[in-house]
Amino acid sequence: MATKQKSGGLGRGLGSILPDIDVENVKPATDTISTVPLAKVTSNPFQPRKEFDETALEELTQSIRQQGVITPITVRRMPDGSYQLIAGERRTKAAQRAGLKEIPAYIRTATDNQMMEMALVENIQRADLNAMEVALAYRSLIEECRLTHEELSEKVGKDRSTITNYLRLLNLPSETQLALSRDVISMAHARALAGMEDVERHLELLHAVIDRKLSVRETEQLVKSGKGNRVVAVPKNAKRRGDLPETHQKAQSSLKERLQSTVEIKRSQRGKGTLTIAFNSDADFERIMKILGN
């Protein structure tokens, strides 16, 4: 069967992974979704995500108790009759906690390499991975599937420079990697800090960025000035980045889990702001609107 190609983005990458799938309709209609026993669902050994936020997981569990699993998981059928996860481990964990016996699932046919690729692509598409998890997953694909940066770029629908930038994160000191994986600093901060190769000075800069909540531009300036100074001097009047209030952070996390989509809240010091909900297609938009009751 000829593969239909979508223009740009991750649809092209998924099509290159499984060429017999019609990427225009990568998720089948509702009446073709299978329901599988949760007891027969096993973990994905290639799962890119390493950490699961306990609070977010509990919120998803409560949502599933009320509304069920809205977005099916993706699995592959194994010779022993079990179903190995490709994507949806958090939904599976939450469904188990909610006491469900079965879960809706898309059943795919895939080799180990294809499964690893699909798990990465689907997780990135849902923005589920932090920067360090993406970097580690990219390295695994390169090593396990023997891919070049160019081939990986084509499979995940990302520019080669983007792939390279992620892989460079793996050369950062472990403390910086940990701060990045916990969203204490952004990837842009990490890239700026990478300019300081001396580990001791690098960590001094990292602590300064975290303690004073410096912007990316301020971090870049600090790295530039720090290269010529043994002791890093941080301006006392350094501007702090505006933090999102805890109530807004919780709301953002709750909406993300409920809608299974990227949600961003921006707020000014005066209390004005915007709420942005991302969707991948018209069908995804309709799904989100249904959840919101419209």
Tell me the one-letter amino acid at 279.
F
Q: Report residue 282 as tokens.
A: 């018209």
Q: Which residue matches tokens 């190769």?
A: 197
Distances (CA, A) of 244 to 157, 210, 214, 233, 250: 31, 16, 15, 27, 10
Query: Which 8-state DSSP code applies to residue 95?
Result: H
Catalytic annotation, residues: 89
Closest-CA residue to 234 (of 215, 252, 249): 215
Closest-CA residue to 120 (of 155, 91, 151, 154): 155
Per DSSP, which regions of 164-285 are E strands? Answer: 263-267, 273-277
What is the total residue count of the chain?
294
Q: Is 94 helix (H, G, I), strand (E, B) or coil?
A: helix
